[in-house]
Amino acid sequence: MSDKTEQLRQIRDEIIALTESPLYDYRTENGYFPVIGQGDHDAAIMFIGEAPGKNEAQTGRPFCGASGRVLDEMLAAVGLQREAVYITNIVKDRPPDNRDPQKAEIALYAPFLDRQINIIQPRVIATLGRFSMDFVLERFNAPQAGQKISALHGQAIAATADYGDVWIVPLFHPAVTLYNASQKQTLLDDFAALKRFAE
């Protein structure tokens, strides 16, 4: 087992036992799993969403519902395999009724994400949706923090991580295409740009 795998398993074990989380009781009462992350531990591209939905919490796998099917389609369209990237969320447990995560929840789970980023050391961090974009840009002290996703999507924003240089690429959340089919081409174009930065 690689050192990275061992470190990521440690994170998983800590989150499973995170009784101080305000989402812990909701998880256990519903028989849900925390959703830690999935993919290549040496991935060049890391996708970061907001929080798990119901399908994800039932399986412990990120982006496995309708949004996940869109994500898989986008990856395939630009020649990227899901197994070659790493996918996770800021918050690792499902909030009730798919509501937005609360500030206290984000603050509690964020250090786990920080550790995941530093273990995997991606060259590109692709944020899925406004919530994730806002969090990551602020986390990396990017001057674009606070701008709208409509202005930043598909752009590569240079930032510095603890391990070196990284590109942050904001993307619309895959779910946007489920409600607005016209956004599909925009998402495809942004994913094509994403592949270029990872090569």
| Residue 156: band (very low, low, confident or very high) from pLDDT cuts 50, 70, 90 | very high
The domain limits of the chain are: 3-198
User: To the nearest whole percent, how much of the chain has pLDDT over 90?
Assistant: 89
For residues 119 and 134, the answer to whether their CB atoms sit within 8 Å is no
Calculate the dihedral angle through the C-alpha atoms of 12, 16, 22, 23, rounding to the nearest 10 degrees.
90
pLDDT digits (tens, 9 = 90+) for 73-117: 999 999 999 999 999 999 999 999 989 999 999 999 999 999 999
Three-state SS letters, the chain: CCHHHHHHHHHHHHHHCCCCCCCHHHHHHCCCCCCCCEECCCCCEEEEECCCCHHHHHHCCCCCCHHHHHHHHHHHHCCCCHHHCEEEECCCCCCHHHCCCCHHHHHHHHHHHHHHHHHHCCCEEEEECHHHHHHHHHHCCCCCCCCCHHHHCCCCEEEEECCEEEEEEEECCCCHHHHCCCHHHHHHHHHHHHHHHHC
Domain 3-198 coded CATH 3.40.470.10: yes
Residue 173 tokens read as: 């959340």
pLDDT digits (tens, 9 = 90+) for 8-50: 999 999 999 999 999 999 999 999 999 999 999 999 999 999 9
Evaluate if pTM is beyond 0.85.
yes
Exposed/middle/buried for 31, CB within 10 Å: 0-12, 13-18, 19+? exposed
